Structure 1
Amino acid sequence: MSNALAWIVATFVTLPLLAFYFVYIVSVKTTKNKRRSIKLAVDVTTILFIFAVYYIAYELWALSLFWLILIAILIVAIIFTIIHWKLSKDIELKKLIKGIWRLNFLLFLIVYFLLSIYGLFSRIFMIT
């Protein structure tokens, strides 16, 4: 049983889009609300995209870029907080945290695709 659980977790970390789709489908079936389901899938799979970016970068360059990922998350949080404060003149913590988390989803989704494409071409043409 523990092997099966480890396999499922490893699959979702390796292929976070599969996890996104799985969470979305299960959520749509239970809530019948597509917009809420997308938000839930984004919230749940953000951490998987962060781990996937870390592991892809580690496989490509044999470097731990964990510090760079943390700095990117902190920079996104700082910029988003400043923009939120300038626009609303009041900081709503719940809204702020959700916005930062979802913006990190977009950032790491883009980085995930870019690293995947780079990794694919670098392995085909032996660039690294």
Structure 2
Amino acid sequence: MLDIISYILSFFITIPIIASLLVYMISMIWERNKLKAVHKMVAWTTCFYIIAVSIMLTLIFGRSFTGIILIFLLTLLSLIIFIQWKTKRDVELRKAVRILWRISFLLFFFLYGCFMVVGIIKQLAA
């Protein structure tokens, strides 16, 4: 049973777009609201994209970038909290984390696409 779960997680980390589509379709059936379905898709699949980009960076460049990714995410969260503090004088950590998660989805979704193209070109050139 544990093997099946690890295979499913590995598959979704390798191809997170399928996980996104699956979560979106399930959310559409459950919620019947496109906007809520998109928000659930972003919330549930961002982690897959972050891990996939980290693995792709390791495969393309031959070294781990996990620490740099974590520092980048913490810096981005600090920036979001600072902007919240400057504009509203009241920091809402839950809202800041939600904004970070959505920005991370957009960024890592874009990076996943770019690194997929780079990886394909690198394999074709070799």
Could you state the TM-score of these two structures normalised by the residue count of structure 2?
A: 0.91
Counterpart of 2:88 in structure 1 is 88
**In structure 1, the residue corresponding to 2:63 is in which secondary structure?**
coil
5+ residue gaps, structure 2, are none
2:107 matched residue in structure 1:
107
Instruction: Return the alpha-carbon distance in structure 1 between the equivalents of residues 7 and 33 of structure 2.
Output: 30
Q: Which moved more, 1:49-58 or 1:1-10?
A: 1-10
Residue-by-residue CA offset, 1:20-71 (whole Å, 9 max, x unaligned): 1100100110111111111011011111001101111111122111111111
Matching residue's letter, 1:117: V
Whether contact under 8 Å (2:49, 2:112) holds in the other structure is yes
Instruction: Describe how 1:60-79 pairs up with structure 2 within 5 A.
Output: 60-79=60-79
How do residues 27-66 of structure 1 correspond to structure 2 at under 5 angstroms? 27-66=27-66
Separation in 2, partners of 1:74, 1:2:
32
Q: Note if contact 2:81-2:93 (Cα within 8 Å) is conserved in structure 1.
A: no
For 1:2 and 1:92, locate their aligned partners in 2 and report how far apart those are by CA, in whole Å. Answer: 38
Aligned pair count? Answer: 126
| Equivalence map 1:111-122=2 (5 Å) | 111-122=111-122
Residue identity (%): 29
Q: 2:4 matched to 1:13?
A: no
Whether the 8 Å contact between 1:76 and 1:104 is mirrored in structure 2 is no
The CA deviation string for residues 92-113 of structure 1, in whole angstroms up to 9 with x for no partner, is 2221111111111111112111
Q: What is the TM-score when the length of structure 1 is the normalising length? A: 0.90
